[in-house]
């Protein structure tokens, strides 16, 4: 019983995120990928900022497939971000400033 209460893997919030933009780092697998899925299901535009573009695009395609039949889903966008490289961080930040009018949520999942 206690395990069910403390470790419930499902988000009970039904808050809609329509019109919101989220950036999630390190999200091509695991918790990060599931976070992206849940944000997209709630209508957010999610920028997946990851080091490996091939894996990130595969994860984004999977999320699009899983949400295809859902109503009110958001968009998934993939950008390259290697947090071990300051040049990559600057390039990603510059690209986000150029393409995103606002960033409402930041999930620092990497590492």
Is residue 7 included in any domain, yes or no? no
Is residue 38 included in any domain, yes or no? yes
Is residue 71 included in any domain, yes or no? yes
Total structural domains within the chain? 1
Q: For residues 10 and 107, which has the higher predicted lDDT (pLDDT)? A: 107
> Does pLDDT of 4 surpass 80?
no
pLDDT of residue 92: 97
Is residue 66 included in any domain, yes or no? yes
Cβ–Cβ < 8 Å for 26, 109: yes
Is residue 64 included in any domain, yes or no? yes
pTM of the model: 0.88
- Domain CATH number, residue 99: 3.40.50.720
> Does pLDDT of 98 surpass 60?
yes
> Does pLDDT of 97 surpass 80?
yes
Is residue 10 included in any domain, yes or no? no
Residue 89 parent element (H or E): helix 86-99
User: What residues make up the domain containing 47?
Assistant: 19-107
């Amino acid at each position: 019983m206690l395990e069910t209460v403390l470790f419930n893997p499902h988000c009970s919030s039904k808050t809609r995120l329509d019109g919101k933009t989220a950036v999630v780092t390190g999200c091509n697998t695991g918790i990060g990928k599931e976070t992206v899925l849940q944000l997209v299901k709630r209508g957010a535009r999610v920028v997946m900022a990851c080091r490996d573009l091939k894996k990130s695009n595969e994860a984004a395609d999977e999320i699009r497939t899983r949400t295809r039949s859902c109503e009110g889903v958001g968009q998934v966008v993939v950008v390259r971000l290697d947090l071990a490289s300051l040049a990559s961080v600057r390039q990603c930040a510059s690209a986000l400033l150029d393409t995103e009018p606002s960033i409402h949520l930041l999930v620092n999942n990497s590492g």
